[in-house]
Amino acid sequence: MACTARYILIAVLFLFSFSANAAHLTYEIDDAGLRIQVDFEQGYSNVNTLKLDKSFVVSFETPEPVVFSQEFWDMPVEKLFVTSDDTRKRLITDFAGELVVPEIVSQPKLLKITYAFPKVQTADPVVGTQAYARMIWGLLIILAVMLGIFWVFKTYFKRQVFTDIPGTGRLLGKADIDLRKSLYFYEIDNKIYILGVTDASMTLIEKVSDEDEVTRIKSGFNKKTEFVNYMKFFKKNPGVKDEVEISRNSISERLKSLRKR
């Protein structure tokens, strides 16, 4: 019984002396960096460093045991651990991404290793009156571009709406009777459609189906190109006075009589 108690006492004293002579490692980690401190009882020497692909190794000589292993999540460092080869100890830091070279401070019985993580560059949000001014100018530019495109399409299609349709009909010509008001003469299947066109609307004024009238209008357009002669094709009995310039008032009266037919 006394022998057993003696063995137990020796084992406790051995463990106590082992822990008393062991080096103590502590660390702090945050977004700014990883700070490691190793405190020794007897001291250390011969500090060396080794840079690998994604690991940095700090090795040193000490007779004191150093036992440590820690993994990290969502940090630039994945793992921090110590390996031992007799008196040679290696403090290894594994990185998740870019390798960082530490700053090492050696003091008697104290070793400090600091890894400064690179700062993540974030764009400063643009606030205040400048942001609102840029937004308003951007909206005005977009609005101007949209209005310009609308005007181009409106003008282009207004000009092209009466172009010839192969196999269906053809545009004989037009007569401008007022500002932004025109008459278009369109032939389809031996009939002539007289269309009144403004900026806002398009109206069928008359459909001419009489062969003699159709022939006279077509021949007139083949011979006459001046606006003052366009409307004489509506008269039943053309004579010498047909060569006289037709005023806008007479054109309007003739159009009214056509609508009443």
What one-character-per-residue DSSP string does 54-88 give?
Answer: SEEEEEEE-SS----EEE-SSSSEEEEEEEEETTE
pLDDT of 16 strictly over 90:
no
Q: How far apart are CA 175 and CA 198, in angstroms?
A: 12
Asked if residues 258 and 206 have their Cβ atoms less than 8 Å apart, the reply is yes
pLDDT of 103 strictly over 70:
yes
The residues, any chain, with a CB within 8 Å of residue 7's CB and separated by 6 or more, are none
Percent of the chain with pLDDT strictly greater than 90: 34
Taking only the tens place, the pLDDT of each residue in 125-143 is 555 677 788 888 889 999 9
The predicted structure's pLDDT at residue 153: 77
Instruction: For residue 252, give both structure tokens.
Output: 């309007």
pLDDT of 95 strictly over 70:
yes
Q: How far apart are CA 132 and CA 260, in angstroms?
A: 61
pLDDT of 164 strictly over 50:
no
Asked if residues 197 and 189 have their Cβ atoms less than 8 Å apart, the reply is no
Q: How far apart are CA 19 and CA 1, in angstroms?
A: 27
Asked if residues 65 and 84 have their Cβ atoms less than 8 Å apart, the reply is yes
The predicted structure's pLDDT at residue 18: 44
The predicted structure's pLDDT at residue 124: 58
Residue with more model confidence, 75 or 251? 75
When pLDDT is cut at 50, 70 and 90, the band that residue 257 belongs to is low
The predicted structure's pLDDT at residue 132: 81
The residues, any chain, with a CB within 8 Å of residue 168's CB and separated by 6 or more, are 188
Residue with more model confidence, 189 or 250? 189
pLDDT of 81 strictly over 90:
yes
The predicted structure's pLDDT at residue 207: 87
| Full-model pTM | 0.43
Shortest CA distance to 90 belongs to which of 38, 131, 135? 38
pLDDT of 239 strictly over 50:
no
CATH annotation of 19-116 = 2.60.40.3470
Helix (H, G, I), strand (E, B) or coil at 53: coil
pLDDT of 39 strictly over 60:
yes
pLDDT of 182 strictly over 50:
yes
Q: Domain limits of the chain? A: 19-116, 164-259
